[in-house]
């Protein structure tokens, strides 16, 4: 038996079709009731239905968005670990996203310039915001 943990990459989740999280940026984290909300600048691939050709000064199609984790029960990042999801979320940093993986049913890890954030929640929902 192997001790290796089988993970599923964000690239395999339908919620993240036609976007690139590794070219996206976390702006903030907060809780809305039992929902962990991650505000991001999201990179859209040309295949995405809301993709627009970048303006001359832009190099990519970036849109404001958020990733919501409903029924979030726990959030941890390094030394930041509180029994309150809202309190922990407020103390998380921002920066480029490196990866998001499903560790197993209901457990996720998001890594980037802000460290590695582990959480327990329902499947994520990606929402684009109006510009």
Q: What are 32-72's pLDDT values in tens digits?
A: 999 999 999 999 999 999 999 998 888 999 999 999 999 99
Task: Give the per-residue pLDDT at 52.
Answer: 93
- b vs e for 59-71, b when ≥16 Cβ sit within 10 Å of the residue's Cβ? eebbbebbbbbee
Tens digit of each residue's pLDDT (9 = 90 or more) over 83-131: 688 888 888 999 999 999 999 888 999 999 999 999 999 999 999 997 6
Contact 17, 10 (CB under 8 A): no
**Percentages of the chain per state (helix, strand, coil), in multiples of 5:** 10, 50, 40
Break the chain into its structural domains and give their ranges: 8-128
CA-closest candidate to residue 63, choices 39, 32, 47, 92: 39
Q: pTM score, two decimals?
A: 0.90
């Amino acid at each position: 038996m192997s001790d290796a943990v089988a993970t599923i990459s964000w690239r395999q989740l339908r919620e993240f079709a036609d976007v690139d999280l590794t070219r996206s940026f976390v702006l903030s984290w907060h809780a809305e009731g039992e929902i962990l909300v991650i505000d991001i600048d999201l990179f859209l691939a040309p295949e995405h239905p809301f993709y627009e050709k970048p303006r001359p000064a832009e190099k990519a199609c970036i849109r404001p968005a958020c990733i919501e984790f409903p029924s979030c029960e726990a959030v941890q990042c390094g030394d930041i670990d509180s029994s309150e999801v809202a309190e922990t979320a407020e103390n998380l940093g921002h920066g480029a996203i490196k990866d998001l993986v499903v560790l197993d049913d209901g457990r996720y890890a998001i890594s980037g310039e802000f460290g590695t954030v582990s959480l327990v929640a329902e499947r994520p929902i990606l929402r684009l915001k109006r510009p």
